Structure 1
Amino acid sequence: MKNPGRRSQVCYNPRMSKGLPKVLLVKYHDTNIRPIPDHAERTLQIFPSLGILYLAAVLREEGFPVEVLDANAENLSAQAFHQRVRDSQARIVGFTSMTAGWPSTIEGAGIVREALPEALVVVGGPQLSIHPELCLSFPQLDLGVCGDGEETLLEVARALAGGTSLEEIPGTVVKIDGEIRKNPERTWHRDIDRYPFPAVDLLDWNLYRALTVQTPFYTMVTTRGCPFKCRFCSQIYAGNTVRFRSPENVVDEIELYVRKHGAREIVFFDETFTLNKARVMRICQLIRERGLVFRFDMRTRVDSLDEEMVLALREAGGQRVHFGIESGAQEILDRMGKQTTVDQVRTAVSLCKKHGFSTRGYFMIGYLGETPQTYAETLKVARELDLDWASFSITTPLPQTHLFDEARDLGLVDEGFWRDYTLLQSPRLQFPIIESEYWDEARLQKMLKRAYSSFYLRPRMVWRHLTGLRGWEGLRNLVGGVRVMLSLQR
């Protein structure tokens, strides 16, 4: 086998395909950073990667043969993944990677290098956009794609097909004579209607599931990015701005899934679905005018919807609203830069429940400045809101965030943590937490378990879920939820 680090310049000739080079787009196994075992995590949810389906659609539209392989959804072993990659005979193999999945991505890229030594191995996604040069230092990888990947990967594929140099393509990180170079960024397109719909037909959607979501279901994004500046979040991979698809374009995609694929439910993964009221009202109007019958769930902020919008969403098929509440203590919300209040939280949740929405809240514990009192306030608010579901997580100071910078300046996290993590040099490949005078990591894990049990093991909540059972799917959701709760208590 040839040395994985053999290439001195980024210029290849297509030898493995007589026509256009085949592209294999991969979602490798996720790295589980939640406090539950892998089998319980898989019970909760398995969603496809919309990012690689958008890439597949653009490449296919230009005539390139494309295959999508979701090793995580198929639960492939390393050996099975190796065989599938080798059988593909792809000339380009592309990975997408979140920060949490980076160690797994490098593992998968190593398998690809063994299976297809001559393939061009490309990586994109948020992790690459945050640490481009560090990510590309691995010999398993040949080229990185920063930001939106549609035009960039298409240009890479065209260059490979024509046997021309890949060294100066905008939006890439390349290796030239042993040196890593980041090329100029590619211009962000404001018009994202320009992209074809994701190539959903390249996946077996029976592999995907989520508790409480009806099948068959499909996932969508109608915006890219987020305009808010929460201190624990980074939007560098999306250009630190927000771009909208037109209502007509959004509903065209919905209609495709409902009419052609029989979708019963659509899950919108926009950071904040209800950012623009006029746009949301138009989407709801078009859904009704076209007679599309399905249900959907969405994510939003407590300050980004009103009663008129809630009514329109409900009439169009809205079923479930996910709120990023984060904390029940106003002083913590202020420190997070959420620009929301606890009163707004109560109003928004109450409004949605009033009109028949199922409500879900997401909370962080152990944020900077958290005390036993603010922690207790969060648990109290979570219970008082009468949410149908709640999710709790231990705060993580992610890279390229104000939170990380603040925690670093206070000496609470090591300045080089994310560098070492990206290079797989950390003593343990787990995310950092913020310890304080009140708790260490072990104590935070106990607090997390207590948060879940205090919310879900109340007689009222148990009774609600027992009496809300509807057929086989309801029973499946209940059993799945019980399995997850039991795993949390171990």
Structure 2
Amino acid sequence: MVEALLIVPQSPMDRYCVRDKGAMGFSKAGYIFPPYDLAMIAANIKDVTSVEILDGNAKKLNITDIKKYIKKSNPNYVIFSNSTPTIDWDLNIARISKEVNPTITTVTFGPHIATLGNEVMRACQYLDVAVVNEQELTIREFIERENVKNVKGTIIREEDRIINQGIRTPLNDFGKLHFPAHDLLELGLYRLPYAKRHPVAATMTSRGCPGKCFFCLTWIISKEFRPRPSEHVLEELRFLSEELNVHEIKLWDDTFTYDMKRALSICNMIKSEKLDISWTCNTRIDRINSELLKSMKEAGCHTICLGVESGDDEILKSIGKEITTSQIKNAFGCAKSVGLDTAGFFMLGHPWDTPVTMQKTIDFAKTLDPDYASFNIVTPFPGTPLFKMAEQRGWLKTRDWSNYESTLYPVYEPDGVSRDVIWSMRNKAYKEYYIKPRYILKRVTKLQSLSDFGRDVSSFFGLLKMLAEPKKREK
């Protein structure tokens, strides 16, 4: 018997889904991300209860398979992740848990719950607890107490009443939490974008991003930058490399280099320890410089992911990016000059976007020439300033959450541009960027192994599959 069974729900639409650390959506190229959030919960409760992680997403389990596993495990708690576009699908985990044993306490968490927890609790009679923030400490508390009453950070069901028990005070010292229980995951199942080696792992060295991008889920999760001590980070990297034989790591921080001195310190420690790791990270255009990028490269970083969002300075200003196209060009140039691969993230369909500004973004992407370019449809997720604006101005065309995903047909229509135009511009962006001899030749010349070849071929066919998908309109 396992006391706490942590579940990543099965994948809808025959596509792998990301339901972690505020990221939500479907994998474009068949990548499968380790469930960081559940691994963090497991690490921080395993000293007070027995725990197991079942990844129905990575294992391609169906709902019947998961139900059988719940019955076999006979847990007291079933704790599962979710995302906005899969929330209705994910809540089936609560239903089948109660069908197996009505006394199981069903629990879920995440940005969608933080914003719409009361709505979800009313809609799903099988859900007992919605954790609205600080899930590691919140879940640990009610498991230790064996009682969910009066636990901050939760919404609970008590007979016919839904009770909101308030917000938990955020943990300022991220280092007080244990690092993820990587050893409870089957790490060989996972495939990450840009990875050079296998198996892979994902972690975070900090939480939060003070940036003001008004479409971003950090408005729900955490705006305050909360770092882990560098020594704590190094301990985890050493454990992955030396104990689990994992040498490819995704640093999943919102902005790894927000504190540039701290990032430099971590790089210097990796070099001093001579850790055999390669890694990728996300960061902001305005939080890097040549010295830091050079040190990152020397410490094993091979790819840096940068949010560009638009190639128009007025659009960048209006969406709260607080960067300019000149800064963006400089950042990509610096990264390339030290030998780092670059991944650029672009968005189409911002408020105030037009066909002209969207084409400007596509052309800007081609000018920057990152090794990888991701073109996403702007999606107003609940809880973000963009959602509030879209709701107030009557731009939302549906509240069918299954459509709220950046690779699907737009769910809102800002003034001046139709959804059909946004959709066609997204497809145009991918075709103009990737399906051309120059880009294909560039990728071929960068191949260093059969693994690289397999990754790029898989990504290419994933792209073709995505572009072939029909428009998905609201119910």
TM-score under structure 2 length normalisation: 0.91
Match of 1:291 among 274, 299, 314: 274
Closer, same or farther in 2 for the Cα pair 1:384/1:408, shift >3 Å?
A: same
Closer, same or farther in 2 for the Cα pair 1:178/1:119, shift >3 Å?
A: same
Please give the residue correspondences for 1:91-106 in structure 2 after superposition, counting only pairs within 5 Å: 91-106=76-91
Closer, same or farther in 2 for the Cα pair 1:231/1:483, shift >3 Å?
A: same
Closer, same or farther in 2 for the Cα pair 1:488/1:432, shift >3 Å?
A: closer
Which amino acid in 2 is paired with 1:361?
G
User: In the alignment, which residue of structure 2 is the partner of 1:467?
Assistant: 445
Which amino acid in 1 is paired with 2:189?
L
Match of 1:179 among 152, 156, 161: 161
Matched, 1:110 2:95: yes
2: CA distance, partners of 1:67 / 1:367: 41
Which amino acid in 1 is paired with 2:437?
P
Which amino acid in 1 is paired with 2:183?
D
Match of 1:82 among 53, 61, 67: 67
Which amino acid in 1 is paired with 2:373?
A
1: CA distance, partners of 2:254 / 2:403: 32
Report the 3-state secondary structure (helix = DSSP H, G, I; strand = E; otherwise coil) of the residue aligned with 1:44.
coil
Match of 1:377 among 360, 382, 391: 360
- More moved, 382-391 vs 234-243: 234-243
Closer, same or farther in 2 for the Cα pair 1:340/1:425, shift >3 Å?
A: closer
Q: Runs of 5+ in structure 1 lacking a partner?
A: 1-16
2: CA distance, partners of 1:305 / 1:42: 28
Which amino acid in 1 is paired with 2:454?
R
1: CA distance, partners of 2:222 / 2:409: 24
Matched, 1:364 2:352: no
Asked whether the equivalents of residues 396 and 431 of structure 1 are also in contact (C-alpha less than 8 Å), the reply is no
Matched, 1:194 2:176: yes
1: CA distance, partners of 2:70 / 2:53: 10
User: In the alignment, which residue of structure 2 is the partner of 1:7?
Assistant: none
User: In the alignment, which residue of structure 1 is the partner of 2:5?
Assistant: 24
Which amino acid in 2 is paired with 1:192?
F
User: In the alignment, which residue of structure 2 is the partner of 1:14?
Assistant: none
2: CA distance, partners of 1:88 / 1:33: 26
| Number of corresponding residues | 455
Asked whether the equivalents of residues 76 and 104 of structure 2 are also in contact (C-alpha less than 8 Å), the reply is yes
Report the 3-state secondary structure (helix = DSSP H, G, I; strand = E; otherwise coil) of the residue aligned with 1:324.
strand
The alignment-based identity, stated in percent, is 29
Matched, 1:167 2:145: no
User: In the alignment, which residue of structure 2 is the partner of 1:476?
Assistant: 454
Residue 236 (structure 1) shift: 4.6
Closer, same or farther in 2 for the Cα pair 1:301/1:42, shift >3 Å?
A: closer
2: CA distance, partners of 1:110 / 1:129: 21
Asked whether the equivalents of residues 315 and 353 of structure 2 are also in contact (C-alpha less than 8 Å), the reply is yes
Closer, same or farther in 2 for the Cα pair 1:481/1:409, shift >3 Å?
A: same
Which amino acid in 2 is paired with 1:208?
Y
Matched, 1:456 2:442: no
1: CA distance, partners of 2:178 / 2:58: 24
Which whole-Å deviations, capped at 9, do the CAs of 1:58-110 have from their partners, x for residues lacking one? 11122x11011110010001111111111111011011222233122112222
Closer, same or farther in 2 for the Cα pair 1:189/1:33, shift >3 Å?
A: farther
Matched, 1:135 2:120: yes
Which whole-Å deviations, capped at 9, do the CAs of 1:373-431 have from their partners, x for residues lacking one? 101110111001121010011111111222122222322116xx55x64xx999xxx78
Residue 136 (structure 1) shift: 1.5
Residue 22 (structure 1) shift: 0.4
Residue 483 (structure 1) shift: 0.7
Match of 1:126 among 103, 108, 111: 111
Which amino acid in 2 is paired with 1:382?
A
Report the 3-state secondary structure (helix = DSSP H, G, I; strand = E; otherwise coil) of the residue aligned with 1:380.
helix
Which amino acid in 2 is paired with 1:52?
L
Residue 34 (structure 1) shift: 9.1
Match of 1:58 among 44, 47, 55: 44
Matched, 1:47 2:33: yes
Asked whether the equivalents of residues 372 and 438 of structure 1 are also in contact (C-alpha less than 8 Å), the reply is no
- More moved, 404-413 vs 77-86: 404-413
Match of 2:303 among 295, 316, 320: 320
Where does structure 1 differ by over 4 angstroms across 4 or more consecutive aligned residues?
30-36, 436-439
Root-mean-square deviation (CA, aligned residues, Å) is 2.3
Report the 3-state secondary structure (helix = DSSP H, G, I; strand = E; otherwise coil) of the residue aligned with 2:374.
strand
Asked whether the equivalents of residues 43 and 210 of structure 1 are also in contact (C-alpha less than 8 Å), the reply is no
Residue 443 (structure 1) shift: 3.2
2: CA distance, partners of 1:144 / 1:103: 14
Report the 3-state secondary structure (helix = DSSP H, G, I; strand = E; otherwise coil) of the residue aligned with 1:400.
coil
Asked whether the equivalents of residues 368 and 434 of structure 1 are also in contact (C-alpha less than 8 Å), the reply is no
Report the 3-state secondary structure (helix = DSSP H, G, I; strand = E; otherwise coil) of the residue aligned with 2:281.
strand
Q: Runs of 5+ in structure 2 lacking a partner?
A: 18-25, 469-475
Asked whether the equivalents of residues 3 and 76 of structure 2 are also in contact (C-alpha less than 8 Å), the reply is yes
Asked whether the equivalents of residues 108 and 131 of structure 2 are also in contact (C-alpha less than 8 Å), the reply is yes
2: CA distance, partners of 1:233 / 1:30: 24
2: CA distance, partners of 1:212 / 1:85: 34
Residue 32 (structure 1) shift: 6.2
Which amino acid in 2 is paired with 1:330?
D
1: CA distance, partners of 2:29 / 2:309: 24
Match of 1:216 among 151, 174, 199: 199
User: In the alignment, which residue of structure 2 is the partner of 1:410?
Assistant: 393
Matched, 1:311 2:289: no
Asked whether the equivalents of residues 33 and 100 of structure 1 are also in contact (C-alpha less than 8 Å), the reply is no
2: CA distance, partners of 1:382 / 1:394: 15
1: CA distance, partners of 2:188 / 2:33: 11
Which amino acid in 2 is paired with 1:467?
T
Match of 1:388 among 371, 375, 389: 371
Asked whether the equivalents of residues 97 and 124 of structure 1 are also in contact (C-alpha less than 8 Å), the reply is yes
2: CA distance, partners of 1:205 / 1:176: 38
TM-score under structure 1 length normalisation: 0.88
Closer, same or farther in 2 for the Cα pair 1:359/1:134, shift >3 Å?
A: same
